[in-house]
Amino acid sequence: MFNAQAQFAVVNFPFGAMPKADHHLAVYRKGLKVGDLRATSQQKDNNVIADLMTGSAQKDDEVREE
Question: Which CATH number covers residue 34?
Answer: 2.40.10
Split into its structural domains, the chain has a count of: 1
**Tens-digit pLDDT profile for the chain (66 aa)?**
888 889 999 999 888 888 999 999 999 999 999 999 999 999 998 999 999 999 999 989 999 987
pTM of the entire structure? 0.87
Q: Give me the domain span that covers residue 10.
A: 2-65
Contact 10, 45 (CB under 8 A): no
Distance CA 18, CA 12 (A): 9
